[in-house]
Every structure is written in structure tokens, then in C-alpha cells.
Amino acid sequence: MTIDLLIHGPHVLTLAGDGVGYQADFALAIDRGRILATGPRSDLLQEYEAERTIDADGHVVLPGLIDGHMHTGMALLRGLAQDTRYWMMHGVGPFTPHLSAEAIDAGSRLAIVEALRAGTTTFGDFGWRMHGVCESLERLGVRGVVCTTIREAEQRIYAPGELYTFDPNLGRRQLEANLALFDRWHGAANGRIRVLFGPQGPDFVSRDLLLEVQRLARERHTRIHMHTAQGDRETEQMLLRYGQRSIPWLDALGYLDPLLQAIHLTDATEDEAALVATRGCTMVVCSGSIGLIDGIVPPARAFQAAGGSVALGSDQAPGNNNHNIFNEMKLTALLNKVRAQDPEVMPAWRVLRMATIEGARALGIAEEVGSLEPGKRADLILVDVRRPTMLPVHLQPMRNLVPNLVYSARGDEVSTVMIDGEVVFEDGRVQRIEEAEILAEAQRLAEPLGAAAADDFWRVNSPSARMMREGRL
Amino acid sequence: MTIDLLIHGPHVLTLAGDGVGYQADFALAIDRGRILATGPRSDLLQEYEAERTIDADGHVVLPGLIDGHMHTGMALLRGLAQDTRYWMMHGVGPFTPHLSAEAIDAGSRLAIVEALRAGTTTFGDFGWRMHGVCESLERLGVRGVVCTTIREAEQRIYAPGELYTFDPNLGRRQLEANLALFDRWHGAANGRIRVLFGPQGPDFVSRDLLLEVQRLARERHTRIHMHTAQGDRETEQMLLRYGQRSIPWLDALGYLDPLLQAIHLTDATEDEAALVATRGCTMVVCSGSIGLIDGIVPPARAFQAAGGSVALGSDQAPGNNNHNIFNEMKLTALLNKVRAQDPEVMPAWRVLRMATIEGARALGIAEEVGSLEPGKRADLILVDVRRPTMLPVHLQPMRNLVPNLVYSARGDEVSTVMIDGEVVFEDGRVQRIEEAEILAEAQRLAEPLGAAAADDFWRVNSPSARMMREGRL
């Protein structure tokens, strides 16, 4: 039979089973966006005629990478919020109010291009104005698991220790925006986009609104994506308002169940993380972002040890400062070794699974993506193993492909990205759009932000302001 | 007057003074390998005629990056030694005995190409067979601060806790190799290569030989580059042999003085690190390598707080697994934040200084390189700030160039590398050599290593062997 596409290569990591599913001289038959069959290269070359055949010589083929938690709309603030405590108030605080819808959309496209070039195929995007983001996800041909930030706390810079004031109108408006997003985009773009509900965190949303979100998510057979125990600032708010830490409070509220994707768990103890996992929630760990913003390594290992699935996330450009799952794989392995003072924990294969099949489980999309198996959507990447960072290739007695993907690759070794059976990055070019325009637009729309934020920036007087005055930036 | 080269651009980080020396619309006049003058772009364009003018539009110009500690000769073992305890014995142990001189040289060239493409201009190389490495450094046009590994402990796999046996003949042979290296290469390649003495560590070399090395280094007005307190394995050896930890033992021996570059300090307490700094030694911190191999963040901050200069180092491909100072800048900032649980420590500007001027001080070459100032050698790089990872560029109220260089850049944004006034990387190509040949040779010479090491690999039965059996690699 004639199919759309046949890919064959010397090295394929299918991520099927409980390892990495390495297959030598392997092939994938792809038709109408799905993987139709996999098997030895010689068999499939004989069995199928294809409209296009890709010879992945010199490459390793693996599932597209999954970024479980991003705020792509903040990308125009890259590099403006790090090396400071009180990141949210003192770091991004002076800048975020000045992000127009246009600047959010332009930033989102920049972030998508950056991540796509580094092999990200699924975008777990969480932001304020998501219609434009969804348009970009659709237009660039990528997969999205998205939600609107539902926040009830008034949007202003709070002093450390000041209790947030709730604005029910804001909460209502944001919930309605999330509902509208669901109605318009859930299942859109050939099913590539799914919409969840996105309360910003148990500190930012009242109890009643949290429960309403849960009811709506149940009704719509979708899930909740929420910053949970995201830092000492949240814990402080919860103690002030309810006299309890986030996890026990959410547990008592009946919020810890398979509906919830718990993002960060920065300030969760190992016992709390294990409890969240035991209740059937999943987790996204943003190692680069939380390491830089807080100097903390979240308890992802305790979550896994309790049986939970954990995805990786790049969070946001201001504070991480990049969207690159190769970076997150390396940092998740490295930072967990440092947390445990043990080089054997969080080995390369484990974080590669978190970036693929385990990440897909955490986002609830493992029946569709995350491994290269018949029936799944054809989301995959080709990584060039002839690049200096990937050389040499050893195959026996030990294969070094996975360690080199995790610890040496930078992301620029990705030479081809396919999503839903369509090649969206190839020959150094994002295929569906004119990349130069997206980059130029990002720069153009970023330029007014500085002037708009200047007063607040100097008034807040964060370490960055002092560094500017001292010629250190 | 007519000079060799004029470089001008919108953004120059000179690293002069105690900040990063940002200059807008700036120019550098370069002649006979040295920076002749720096100043406003318009002034220098008027003052000088140049054989070649480089317009660094869309780029930031900064000093070439300094890698203070590498074992480039091990690059063919990339990806074969991580996610395991007892790295030296169980990780690289099965493989290193099979590295031929040819394989070392081929690996070294691979590592140099990899690092050069990521902006490294000075190579602090430390290995067994250094003549070939020096030939490669000379041939590829880069700067080297090198030494031969002087080891007296017999070369075999020791069990944890087993005292090394010294072989004075081995020690003597290696010392003579280091002396021959000094005689042949110190000051060679237009002064680009300097030779130090390289005792492998106080645990690997007897007291007498250490003292002889010190005497010879003094006589030759050069320095000593030595793994110092490099891990609990070393501490155990020192306690077994001398009943003292490394730092107090070296202090009593009179070894802690400005002659010594102390590498790693992995197992040094903060007080010990401060003592080493106070004695006038310098330090190289290999954040990626020690993080992955040991799960440890060395006390670089304590060393700096005591007034010492610290360079960054990429160490070796098996265990790090790459040679990229952009990676080391990010990891040094991030891991120190995690060590301190404080995002304000080790800010971006500080690690950029460690990769440039502070690194040059640590290696004793700050009068020649490390900043862009008149009289210094012209070692510099151009980084493309129009790449997705470097966008957008903000200039006010806060410049994000330095944070983006440290936290977002991956190394592939480096578009031009100049060493000693010569452009050695440009237009995606290493200029002096045929890169494809170097990469192919690396792969060809790597292939027999696996078969040679297989028996030991399976016998040692490290976690990697188990991962292979379980399909996790």
C-alpha cells in the first residue's frame, strides 16, 4: 500500500516499554498523521510504498519532546528577571503589566520557534491571553495543552508578607476567558490543541472559585493545571489566610485527584509530594526555572517514588531564561543528583522518559504521543549524531546515545521535527512561517517595554537595578 | 595608520574594570595579534585604515572564553561514564587503559573543535600524552595552558578503600614527560602555549615527588596545576596514608602558595577553600563535571569571598559530557544558587567574569587575555544576538545581554572566534582545518574502544552495565 511517509534509520529510540526502546536499523510507516507500523528497516521498506521516504542516516530518531509547563507569552521579558529574590514582585513585577496582547502574541511566537528548533512538539502553555497563543500554536503546526490563567488576587506588586486581596470580578472574567478558550479551541487543529483549566494557584484564587473550576473541569472531561506549593510566598499566603500549608489544605478540599496537574511543588516536602502522587495527581517539574528563581530543587524524585508521573517544563523566558527541553533534561538529572548528593539518582534514561512518554502521561496525552508505537500520532524528531557534541557514537558494550542526548546535546543538533505526521522544521528552517519576521517583530514589540517599566524598575530597586548602576550588566 | 583589523559593533563587553565594561557603538583596533586601541566606533573608524573591517552588527563582542581545566584527550569516551558512583574506577576505569596515543590525539581535536565553536579560546589542558595535544592546539590556532599528568600511583582499578601503591618509575617517567613538554612547548606558537606542571593529586603522587615538582616549577618560573581535594576518594587516601585531609596536609608541606592552581576542591570545606585562597592559590571549578560525577557543588563562593580568583573548567567528555563554557557559566550560577538556596548568589555577571578576566587571573595569563583592553592579545568572540535564544535585546532600563549570554545561550550563537588576532572560526567553519576529517577520524578511532573495554565493563558491572541489560540505554 502507498502511505504518506516512511522514516528509517540506524538508531531509533521508541520509548515503548519501560526503557528507551532502542532499535537498530528500524523504520516507521506513517499515514494520515499517525504511526501505522514500526519494524525492521528491511521489512518496512519492502512492505510499503511511501509518498516520501526519509533516510535518517547519521541521526537518532525519537519522540518529540514534551514541555509540560510554559508561559510563552512572557518571552519578550527574557533576561529581565533573575539573580533576585521575590522574583514575581521584584523580578517580572515591573514589566508584566506592560505586556500588551500584541507583545504576548509576538513573545509566544518567539518562544514557540525557539522551542520547536530544539525539538519541542507539545507545548503546555499557561497564560493570560490565550486566543492569540492558540492561533500561533495552530499556525506553526505544533501540539498544545493549554489553559488560561485564572486569578482572583488583584494584579499589583505586593510587599513580602502582604495578604493578597481578591477581586471576584477578575476571577470571574478569567474563568470566563478559560471557558471561552475551551469552547473555541478544545479539540481544534486536528485535535492538536487541548484546553484545561488554569487556576494560578491556591493562594491566588478563592476556595469557592477553585471548587467551581473543579466542577467545570469534571463536566467537560478535562483537567486542571495549577501552580501548587510553588514557593514560600504561596505557603506564607496559605498560612496567613487558612492557617494551613497548600498540600494539606488542598487535600482537605478534595482537590488532590487525577484531575490535577500539580505544577512545581517547589515548597512541598517529600512527604507532601508523595501524598499528591498517591492521590493520583501528576506533576510538572521546572528545574531550570525553579533553580534560578528560588535556588531550589523540587521533590520530583519523591513524587516518582510514590508512583506519580512527572513531566518537564521550561516555565518562562524571564527567569529560566529559555525554552529548551534538552536544557531541562540535563538540569533535572544534575540538580537531583546534587539534591541527593548521589550521582546515581535521576539517570539520563529517566529524564529522557520524563521528556517523552512519562511527560505525556503527566499531561494525560499518552494515548496519543510520547512514544513511537503504532496507533500514536507521528510526533518525532531527528537528532544529528555527527555533530561534535554527539560524537563519537558508541554502540557496545555500552550505547552512549541517551547520555549524550541528555548531557551533551544543546538542542541545535535537532535537524528535523515532525508533528502529527507533518514536517514542521527541516533544513534549518521552520517550515510554515517566515521566521525572520517573527524574530524582527519580537524585537520591535519588546523595545517599548523598557521605557514603560522604567519607573517601577528603579523604584523596586532589585539587585538588577543595582547591577545596572554598577556597570555589571 | 594601516592596521590589520578593525572590529566595530553596537555592543561590546570589554570586561575591563570590575563590571562587564559594556560599551555601545564601540570599536577595537587590532594589529599584529594585539589590541592596539579601543574607543567609540566613530573615532576609530576615522583614525585607522584596516586591512579588514568586521562590522559586528547584530552581535555582542566579548573576550574569548577561558576553559581552565580540561582533559581533551578523553573525548572519545564521551557519554560512557555518568550516572554512577566511583566514576574514576567504575565509570572511565574500564575504558581509559585502551586509549591509544592516536585515540587521545583524535579525541583532543574533537574536543577542541567542539569548544572552539562555543567560543573557547584558551584551553587549560591536562593529560597523559600531551605532545599530540599541543600539536593540535598549535594547528587549530588556539591558546593553551597545559601540563602532563604526573602520577605515581600504579594504573589499575582499585577497590573503594584500597590504598594506592606508588610506582616511582611511573612517577619519574611522567615528570620527565612534563619536563620535555615544557622544553618543547613553553612559549611556542607565538607564545600561545604555556606549560605548567601537573601532579594528578596529592593522593596520586608521593610527598617527595610533589616537592620535586614544586622546586622545578619555581626554577622554571611556571606554575602547578593539580587536582586538590578532588573528592572523598582522595580524602580517604590522604587519611589512610598520612592521617590528614588534603588541605591541611598540603599547607603543612608548604604547597599552598601562588604557584598552585587548585583544581576542583570538591571535598574541601568552606574553611579549607578559604584557607587555600588566603595562601594565594587560584582555583578552577568544574561545575558540570563535579555535579554529574559526584552530585556536589564545590565551594567556589567561599574561595572568592576569601579573595581568590576562580576559573571555570569543563573537565572531560566522559562525565560532563561536553566542553562548552556557556554550559559551565550557567551551571556555576545555578548550582551555587542551589547550594546557597539563594537566587541572588553567583549572578550572571560574576560567572561571565569567571569565564573571562577572573579565569585569566586564575590561570596567570591576565596580562595577556581575559579582557578587551589595549595591549592585550586579541582573543575575542562575536555572539549573534538575533538568534531566538538571545532575543529580544533590551537596553534600558535594564540590559539583558549578560543574563541571556549566561542563562539562555547554548554556544551555537557564537558566530566568530578570534585568537591572537586571527579569525579561527567564522561562517560556521573552523578555518584552519577540515572539520569533517576530524569528526570522521574521531568516530573511526572510537569504534575499537568498546570491544577492548568490554570484559572490564561487564566485570565491573556499574549501573551502566545494568542499564544496558535492561534496555535503558
Report if residue B81 sits inside a domain: yes
| Same domain, yes or no: A171 and A127 | yes
| Same domain, yes or no: A290 and A347 | yes
Question: Strand B49-55 and strand B59-63: pairing?
Answer: unpaired
* Bigger pLDDT: A119 vs A159: A119
| Same domain, yes or no: B12 and B109 | no
| Same domain, yes or no: A28 and A77 | no
Cβ pair B76:A392 closer than 8 A: yes
B341 in contact with A, Cβ within 8 Å: yes
The amino acid present at B51, given as its one-letter code, is E
Kindly report the CATH number assigned to the domain that includes residue A414: 2.30.40.10
Report if residue B454 sits inside a domain: no
Taking contacts as CB-CB distances below 8 angstroms, the residues of chain B near A443 are 391-393
Report if residue B465 sits inside a domain: no
Per the structure, the complete domain to which residue A349 belongs is given by 65-363
| Same domain, yes or no: B327 and B389 | no
Query: Which of A84, A296, A446 minimises the CB distance to B344?
Result: A84
| Same domain, yes or no: B195 and B339 | yes
| Same domain, yes or no: B57 and B122 | no
B:67-106 residues touching chain A, CB 8 A cutoff: 76, 78-80, 82-85, 87
B:424-453 residues touching chain A, CB 8 A cutoff: 439, 442-443, 445-447, 449-451, 453
C-alpha cell at A404: 549524550
Distance of alpha carbon A118 from alpha carbon A131, whole angstroms: 24
pLDDT, one tens digit per residue, over B235-253 is 999 999 999 999 999 999 9
pTM above 0.90, yes or no: yes
| Same domain, yes or no: A55 and A70 | no
| Same domain, yes or no: A219 and A248 | yes
| 3-state per-residue secondary structure call for B10-28 | EEEECCCCCCCCEEEEEEE
Report if residue B108 sits inside a domain: yes
Closest chain A residue to the Cα of B339, Cα to Cα: A295
Of B363, B390, B409, the residue at which a domain comes to its end is B363
Distance of alpha carbon B308 from alpha carbon B358, whole angstroms: 9
Kindly report the CATH number assigned to the domain that includes residue A315: 3.20.20.140
Of A313, A339, A363, the residue at which a domain comes to its end is A363
C-alpha cell at A42: 528491511
CA distance B112 to chain A (A): 10
CA distance A31 to chain B (A): 28
Cβ pair A412:B408 closer than 8 A: no
Of A363, A396, A420, the residue at which a domain comes to its end is A363
Cβ-contact A238, A161 below 8 angstroms: no
Closest chain A residue to the Cα of B403, Cα to Cα: A79
| Same domain, yes or no: A38 and A71 | no
| Same domain, yes or no: A302 and A382 | no
Query: Taking the CA of residue B241 as centre, how many other CA atoms within 13 Å lie in the half-sphere pointing to its CB?
Result: 21
Number of domains present in the structure of chain B: 2
| 3-state per-residue secondary structure call for B386-446 | CCHHHCCCCCCCCCCHHHHHHHCCCCCCEEEEEECCEEEEECCEECCCCHHHHHHHHHHHH
Report if residue A471 sits inside a domain: no
Torsion of CA B208, B210, B211, B214, to 10 degrees: 160
Report if residue B127 sits inside a domain: yes
Cβ pair B114:A447 closer than 8 A: no
Report if residue B453 sits inside a domain: no
Q: How far is CA A261 from CA A115, A247, B286, B332, B447, in A?
A: 22, 13, 36, 31, 45
Q: How many CB atoms lie within 10 A of CB A373?
A: 17
Question: Strand A49-55 and strand A34-40: pairing?
Answer: unpaired
Each residue's pLDDT expressed in tens, for chain B with a length of 473 residues? 799 999 999 999 999 999 999 999 999 999 999 999 999 999 999 999 999 999 999 999 999 999 999 999 999 999 999 999 999 889 999 999 999 999 999 999 999 999 999 999 999 999 999 999 999 999 999 999 999 999 999 988 788 889 999 999 999 999 999 999 999 999 999 999 999 999 999 999 999 999 999 999 999 999 999 999 999 999 999 999 999 999 999 999 999 999 999 999 999 999 999 999 999 999 999 999 999 999 999 999 999 999 999 999 999 999 999 999 999 999 999 999 999 999 999 999 999 999 999 999 999 999 999 999 999 999 999 999 999 999 999 999 999 999 999 999 999 999 999 999 999 999 999 999 999 999 999 999 999 999 999 999 999 999 999 999 999 99
Cβ-contact A236, A204 below 8 angstroms: no
| Same domain, yes or no: A57 and A79 | no
Q: Indicate the length of chain A as a whole number.
A: 473
Report if residue A404 sits inside a domain: yes
Cβ pair A342:B291 closer than 8 A: no
Query: Which of A85, A321, A451 minimises the CB distance to B403?
Result: A321
Residue with the three cell numbers 598552585: B260
Res. A19: pLDDT tops 90: yes
DSSP B197: B
